[in-house]
Structures are given as C-alpha cells and as structure tokens.
C-alpha cells in the first residue's frame, strides 16, 4: 500500500508539474471547447487519452517498445498543435463527429505515454515487479488530469457565465494561445531530431 501511495503521488505531481507544462496544455486544449455541463463528454475524452498513454507507458516501461526520446519530445507539441488547430477550425459549431475526437485523444495519448515513460523508467530503475507501481502511477496521472479538466472547465464557467465572455471568444483565445506556445515548443525541439 505504501508503494501505491508513493507512485500515485508521483503520477499526479508529474502531470501537474509546471516544468512539464506540455501535458497540462494538451489536457487544457483537449477540453477547451466544452462547458461545465459537458463534464461527462470531457470525462470520456480524457479517459480515451488516459487509455492511450497507459498502453504505451506500460509497453515502454516493460521494454516492449522503444522510440527515440527526441522524436517523442517533438511529437508531443505537435499533438497539442493539431488539437488547438482543430478547435479553431471547428469554429462556433458544435463538434459533429465526437467519436473522431475520442479516437484522436486515444491516439495522442499513445504519444504522450511515451513521454511519461522516460520519467517512470528513471524512477523504477531495474525493478523487476513494476505492475503495481505502473498502475498507481497511471491512477495518479489520471487524478492530475481530472484536476486540470476541472480548473479549465471552472475558468470557462466563470468567464462565460459571470463575465459574459462569448463561448467562441474563450475557445478561440485558449486554443490560439496554446497553439502559439506549442508551435514554439515544436520549433525548439525540431533541431534535436537531427542531432
């Protein structure tokens, strides 16, 4: 039980760590088009992302797959760029193809899981029994993601319902800001692919 609480804490602290803000940005932009009333949809969306990153996190930690770290670190901001762009391009319309958004979140979760795996591999070292630690770490990551979702949805609620900001204006602002940040991150990481 002590190991569970340790790895659970490491999981949520890792995703909420501002030094690894790329994951925070992804979860924010993923739920940036939704309102507090849409919490069930957002929960399914974030769960799809969690399933994706849990799969590759497990496969990577168990040494079944290995992808070059520089490639993963470049692809993470690319996933953020694509998600932000899809929010902007969708415009004011409600998302028509929700299932596609879930599949996209699942696929992008696969990429983000590889990013988490570097951190978890460093923690586990040469440990033989990692299933319990892996499970606890994933639950901690999910807990951290839910906190990010709640904060983002609450900010949306406050801005739209109390300050009367138009929903599209908020979505456009959030998605555009995150698009810009992730574009800079991708540009900074691009040269590492060739070094």
**Of how many residues is the chain composed?**
195
The full set of domain ranges for the chain reads: 2-189
pLDDT in tens, 95-143: 566 688 899 999 999 999 999 888 888 877 767 678 888 899 999 999 9
Q: What is the pTM of this model?
A: 0.93
pLDDT in tens, 153-194: 999 999 999 999 999 999 999 999 999 999 999 999 999 999
Q: Among all chains, which residue has been given the structure tokens 């698009």?
A: 179
In order, the DSSP letters of 131-149 are: HHHHHHHHHHHHHHHHHHH
Q: In terms of C-beta distances under 8 Å and separation of at least 24 residues, what long-range contacts does 43-48 make, across chains too?
A: 43/149, 44/102, 45/101, 45/102, 45/105, 46/105, 46/142, 46/145, 46/146, 46/149, 47/142, 48/102, 48/103, 48/105, 48/106, 48/109
Helix (H) or strand (E) run with residue 87 in it: helix 69-90
Measured distance between the N- and C-terminal CA atoms of the chain, rounded to whole angstroms: 43
What pLDDT score was predicted for residue 124? Answer: 78
What pLDDT score was predicted for residue 84? Answer: 97
pLDDT in tens, 46-80: 999 999 999 999 898 888 998 999 999 999 999 99
């Amino acid at each position: 039980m002590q190991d569970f609480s340790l790895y659970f804490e490491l999981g949520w602290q890792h995703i909420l760590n501002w030094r690894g803000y790329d994951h925070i940005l992804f979860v924010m932009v993923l739920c940036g088009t939704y309102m507090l009333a849409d919490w069930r949809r957002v929960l399914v969306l974030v769960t799809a992302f969690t399933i994706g990153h849990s799969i590759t996190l497990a496969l990577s930690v168990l040494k079944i797959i290995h992808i070059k770290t520089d490639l993963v670190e470049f692809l993470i901001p690319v996933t953020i760029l694509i998600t932000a762009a899809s929010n902007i391009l969708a415009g004011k319309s409600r998302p028509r193809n929700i299932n596609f958004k879930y599949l996209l979140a699942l696929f992008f979760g696969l990429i983000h899981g590889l990013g988490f795996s570097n951190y978890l591999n460093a923690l586990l070292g040469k440990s033989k029994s990692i299933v319990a630690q892996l499970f606890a770490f994933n639950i901690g990551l999910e807990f951290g993601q839910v906190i990010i979702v709640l904060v983002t949805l609450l900010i949306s609620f406050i801005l739209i319902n109390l300050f009367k900001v138009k929903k599209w204006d908020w979505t456009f602002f959030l998605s555009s800001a995150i698009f810009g940040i992730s574009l800079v991150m991708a540009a900074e990481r691009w040269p590492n692919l060739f070094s």
